[in-house]
Amino acid sequence: METKGRSRHFIYTDWILTETQFDPDQLHSKETVFTIGNGYLGTRGSFEEGYPSALPTTFIHGVYDDVPVVYTELVNCPDWLPLVVMVNGERFRLDQGEILQYERRLNLRQGLLCRSVRWRSPSGKTIDFYFERFVSFADQHVLAQRCQLTPVDFDGVIEVQGSINGYTENQGFNHWVGLDQGKTDEGIWLQRRTRNSQIELGIAAKMTISGAEASLQVSTAPGYPTLSMTFLAKAQQTVTVEKFVTIFTSREVETPVAAAKEKLAYLPDYAKLLKASEQAWQEVWQQCDIVIEGDGTAAFAVRYNLFELLIASPQHDDKVSIPAKTLSGFGYRGHVFWDTEIFMLPFFLFTQPTIARNLLSYRWHTLPGAKRKASHYGYKGAMFSWESAATGDEVTPRWSLPTDFYGEDVRIWCRDREIHINADIPYAVWNYWQATGDDEWMEKYGAEIILDAAIFWSSRVEFNSESQKYEIRGVIGTDEYHEFVHNNTFTNRMVQWHLEKAMAVYDWLAHKYPQRTRELEDKLQLSSELQNHWQDIIAKILLFYDSSTELIEQFEGFFQLEDINLADYQDRDRSMQAILGIEKTNKYQVLKQPDVLMLLYLMRGYLDFPYSQKALQTNWDYYAPRTDITYGSSLGPAVHAILASHLNISTEAYKLFMQAAMVDLEDNRGNTADGIHGATAGGVWQAVIFGFGGIQFKENRPVANPHLPSNWTRLKFKLHWQGLWYDFDLCGEVGIGHRAWGDGETRGQGDKETRGITNAQSAIPNAQSPMPNPQSATPNSNIQGVIFDLDGVLTDTAELHYQAWQKLADEEGIPFNRVANEALRGVSRRASLMLIIGNRRYSEQQIQEMMERKNRYYVELLKNMTCEDLLPGAIALLDELRQAGIKIAIGSASKNARTVIERLGIADKVDAIADGYSVKQPKPAPDLFLYAAKLLGTEPAQSVVVEDAAAGIEAALAAGMWAVGIGPVERVGAAHVVLPSLAGVKWADIRSQLHNSKK
């Protein structure tokens, strides 16, 4: 389905954004929209050939520098894009000549940006251009471009100049000092260093050409090294020029230039680089993708927002975080806000927990800066900065310039007063711990964040002796229209919640890690007196709440402010603050973004005070009409959409959701040119999962209570929780069940994997093929498909299972060894645990916990699996089958099969995967192999199964398929052919033995 975006010349399909017309008035906003990246760097969608007033920009995580006196900002790095094309001496550029055809496409699935242009030069020569670029998702230091040129109606001389532009600026300020540059056998290189932070950068480039003979020249003009290729082009013949770039900084290596030159010298060709990048994207999308059916615009918009989060997320660096405008624009100067922890982090927490850990580790690394800020204001502990950069010190500008040339400068009070971030970050840390069970990280990093930030509150609160209450005065709440208030309920309740969790973390740490506890007690000056103070604050903090109506007052005196009817301003095109002015806005009951409602949203997951359905309805009715949801903050619509879903206000929920989802695609706030709205992108994911999907966590697992929009026929996604993956497949108004999977064990019927609500059917469809009659089912010689079992055939994960069980047994003090492990082969997880614990008595809750703990250990071990773990002969046989035109499937009972396949690097070598999700009946029932054959489109009699277990051989024979057994005859002797392993095995030999075997 295709849908057109209003006035943006956009077409949306499932994975591809297509721009059908170039509009110079939208140049800068489109540069933002077409940003590409890989979690290390982001490059805006500027044209290769340049354009007047364009803002070509590449940001690299952590490369900050100071603008003297004014602010700290992410630095615009040297531009790797320049590709100037001269056609018979005329320079190709879109502001000259004539554009006859134009199309630009962003492929989200591949991370690939393409542009096609048919251009007529001022002298009348017509030429087709096709540009393509990507930044490798497989290797963060590699970037590549391709330019294909096809003269339409002339022969002539064409010159292509590929350059590195070292003179990039941050809107008028140049942060770079030139150090050196040069040329090598491979191409050109440039060395730069930031003026104040002294970060060194090395970048290298080379070019290749095909389709024509070309002479190569190298120019080393200062700060702008260039490779030039000149060739004679002929009409209707295509010439391809490819440019390869490598880039490093001193944040990763000691000698960035040497690293860039070395990597450039050993790069494979363009096609291999692109394929590696596409495979890396495929792996990520398999975990992160959200499938929406029935609404093409929403389906694309959700994927687009997830793409923007993924390309800005640090995969290999825990000393950086995602800026509010990601790596896509100059807005907010690359500073990090609460946006990351509260809005963006949940997406990573439940789909990419390693990245979530990196983002939170950044806050640990910046604790020294937070402590310096607290000390500056006269407080104890850690006071996280409202805007943070490299060190964690406050980088919020103190003043903002007025829009009126003769107006007064505007004081920015957030740096001093918007302190709820000091509880927001611990909130995110706690949620990470709950979702992952990552005790090791919590011990080393998370606990210190929570405790040090809690110490700040003990010095920030004030005790009112008259009311016998603790107060927090002189703050800004999440609603930033009121800049100096007392006892903001959001802030006070979050502080109370934070201190409750700090007490729990302190107790947990003391019980489990006494040495670390002593270290933190010495470092942070923790004491029993401090804990008593925290407990007193928890009991006595001031909260404005009417228990009879459950209406919450946003802050002390809010209800005494002058009321306002936003309907009176229905035709406005700017914020209420812009209309009323800062001072007047402070006197009205008008909100920039959710405040009380934001608190209810954050507390809903814990069903903690003040969350209840009555409180939600009461406060929605009061605060939603008073919130400037359209022109206030981009953070608001997604949160309102979720709460509207919970209140079953479906039409309003969908309207708010689409307002958030399209914020950059439609530029509906007019500021997309400044960069992607990162918090909104994260809010969109939350709106889908927690709003429409209705995900809640009950009995330590996610369950769905869906509220799908009326036009959505299906919503499908995955969530990662406590080491398990949960699949959700929700259709229409009926919530279809979901299943958890986490390891590769075969499970018996007694080890039920279904979690939570199952209103209709299994999340993964079961094979519906009828059971064949083994007596009448006979294979034939026209073999079209081969189905491989995974464990014991292509790889061996038995050792990983043993290590996981051994770790669990050691922790529980239960004797266990490799001999005892032999009894667990082919046994379900629960049955295995029962064998291990023997006659020892455990509660059902303890048994469930131990099974999940063992599974987490196993999943962690899987992360170390690589292609080196393939058994001998596996790759050779897969490749030979592919060349012979034989279809290949994996038929594994493991619910972790897809993860193993990805780790082994063979996903591109198989056509279908049937795993533990696919069928209800395990081997020796034939269901799994019948389902695999169905996926391949082959008849059972035309299929071969390669198995190492007796149950698998029995299943293959019952399905009426050929069976090849791997292992001893005692185990797989019923197979048509028995082989000791796949080492040295040829497909022709298997075919011959099958032909000669007895039917």
pLDDT above 60: residue 273: yes
pLDDT at 400: 84
pLDDT at 605: 78
Cβ burial of 608 (10 Å; 0-12, 13-18, 19+) is middle
pLDDT above 90: residue 573: no
The neighbour count for residue 339, using CB atoms within 10 Å, is 28
Task: Fill in the amino acid letter for 896.
Answer: N
**Among 4-8, 113-117, 527-531, whose mean pLDDT is lowest?**
4-8
pLDDT above 80: residue 262: yes
Q: Is 480 a catalytic residue?
A: yes
Neighbour-count burial for 484-520, b at 16+ CB within 10 Å, e otherwise: ebebbbbbbbbbbbbbbbbbebbebbeeebeebbeeb
The neighbour count for residue 704, using CB atoms within 10 Å, is 27
pLDDT at 1: 36
Cβ atoms of 378 and 449 closer than 8 Å: no
Could you write out the DSSP letters of every residue in 236-284? T--EEEEEEEEEEETTT-S-HHHHHHHHHHT---HHHHHHHHHHHHHHH
pLDDT above 70: residue 781: no
Question: 717 vs 288, 299, 603, 673, 713, CA distance in Å?
Answer: 7, 12, 24, 31, 14
Q: How far apart are CA 440 and CA 438, in angstroms?
A: 6
pLDDT above 50: residue 771: no
Neighbour-count burial for 418-439, b at 16+ CB within 10 Å, e otherwise: bbbbbbbbbbbbbbbbbbbbbe
Structure tokens at 482: 């009121």
Structure tokens at 813: 């003090």
234 contacts: CB under 8 Å, gap ≥ 6: 151, 155
For 624, the 3-state DSSP assignment is helix
The neighbour count for residue 946, using CB atoms within 10 Å, is 26
For 312, the 3-state DSSP assignment is coil
Cβ atoms of 675 and 326 closer than 8 Å: yes
The per-residue pLDDT for range 433-490, each reduced to its tens digit, is: 999 999 999 999 999 999 999 999 999 999 999 999 999 999 999 999 999 999 999 9
Q: How far apart are CA 621 and CA 629, in angstroms?
A: 14
Q: How far apart are CA 783 and CA 942, in angstroms?
A: 4
- Kind plus residue range of the DSSP H or E element containing 197: none
pLDDT above 50: residue 750: no
Q: How far apart are CA 635 and CA 627, in angstroms?
A: 12
Residue 27 CA, chain-centre distance (Å), reads 27
Outline where 568-689 has alpha helix (H).
576-580, 582-585, 596-604, 613-623, 636-646, 650-661, 678-686
**Among 339-348, 494-503, 602-611, 667-676, whose mean pLDDT is lowest?**
602-611
122 cis-preceded (ω within 30 degrees of 0): no
Residue of 251, 318, 332 lying closest to 60 (CA atoms): 251
Q: How far apart are CA 830 and CA 817, in angstroms?
A: 18
Q: How far apart are CA 943 and CA 782, in angstroms?
A: 9
pLDDT at 860: 81
Could you write out the DSSP letters of every residue in 722-769? TTEEEEEEEBTTB---EEEE-S-----TTS--EES--SSS-SSPPP-P
**Among 325-339, 572-586, 847-861, whose mean pLDDT is lowest?**
847-861
Structure tokens at 440: 């090791």
Q: How far apart are CA 726 and CA 740, in angstroms?
A: 4
**Among 114-118, 368-372, 659-663, 811-815, whose mean pLDDT is lowest?**
811-815
Q: Are strands 224-233 and 239-249 parallel, antiparallel or unpaired?
A: unpaired
Residue of 134, 357, 362 lying closest to 863 (CA atoms): 357
The per-residue pLDDT for range 828-837, each reduced to its tens digit, is: 677 788 889 8
Q: Out of 480, 483, 745, 902, which one is annotated catalytic?
A: 480
Question: 652 vs 567, 640, 659, 669, 709, CA distance in Å?
Answer: 16, 9, 11, 19, 10
The per-residue pLDDT for range 812-868, each reduced to its tens digit, is: 889 998 878 867 765 567 778 888 988 888 887 788 788 878 888 887 888 888 888
For 105, the 3-state DSSP assignment is strand
Q: How far apart are CA 996 and CA 999, in angstroms?
A: 9
For 890, the 3-state DSSP assignment is strand
Could you write out the DSSP letters of every residue in 522-552? HHHT--HHHHHHHHHHHHHB---B-TTT--B
The per-residue pLDDT for range 875-931, each reduced to its tens digit, is: 999 999 988 889 999 999 877 788 888 889 898 899 888 887 777 788 889 999 999
Cβ atoms of 118 and 96 closer than 8 Å: no
Output the CA torsion sign for 610, 612, 618, 624.
positive
Q: How far apart are CA 756 and CA 398, in angstroms?
A: 50
Cβ atoms of 267 and 187 closer than 8 Å: no
Query: Per-residue pLDDT averaged across 714-734, rounded?
Result: 88
Q: How far apart are CA 786 and CA 724, in angstroms?
A: 30
Please give the share of the chain, as a percent, with pLDDT higher than 70: 93
pLDDT at 777: 42
The neighbour count for residue 748, using CB atoms within 10 Å, is 14
pLDDT above 70: residue 732: no
Query: Per-residue pLDDT averaged across 125-146, rounded?
Result: 98
* Number of helical (H) and strand (E) elements in the chain, helices listed first: 32, 38
pLDDT above 50: residue 4: no
Q: How far apart are CA 67 and CA 73, in angstroms?
A: 7
Cβ atoms of 430 and 608 closer than 8 Å: no
356 contacts: CB under 8 Å, gap ≥ 6: 345, 348, 349, 432, 436
* Mean of all residue pLDDT scores within the chain: 90
| Side-chain half-sphere CA neighbours of 602 within 13 A | 26
**Among 231-235, 241-245, 796-800, whose mean pLDDT is lowest?**
796-800
Please give the share of the chain, as a percent, with pLDDT higher than 90: 76
For 87, the 3-state DSSP assignment is strand
pLDDT at 570: 82
pLDDT at 751: 27
The neighbour count for residue 121, using CB atoms within 10 Å, is 20
For residues 202 and 764, the model is more confident at 202
pLDDT at 829: 72
Q: How far apart are CA 736 and CA 810, in angstroms?
A: 39
Give 798's pLDDT tier (boundaries 50, 70, 90): confident
pLDDT at 780: 61
Q: How far apart are CA 638 and CA 654, in angstroms?
A: 10
The per-residue pLDDT for range 360-415, each reduced to its tens digit, is: 999 999 999 999 999 999 999 999 999 999 999 999 998 887 777 777 888 899 99
> What's the Rg (C-alpha) of the chain?
31
Q: How far apart are CA 110 and CA 136, in angstroms?
A: 10
List the 962-966 sheet strands across, edge first. 912-914, 887-891, 785-788, 943-947, 962-966, 977-979
Structure tokens at 267: 């790069």
Cβ burial of 927 (10 Å; 0-12, 13-18, 19+) is buried
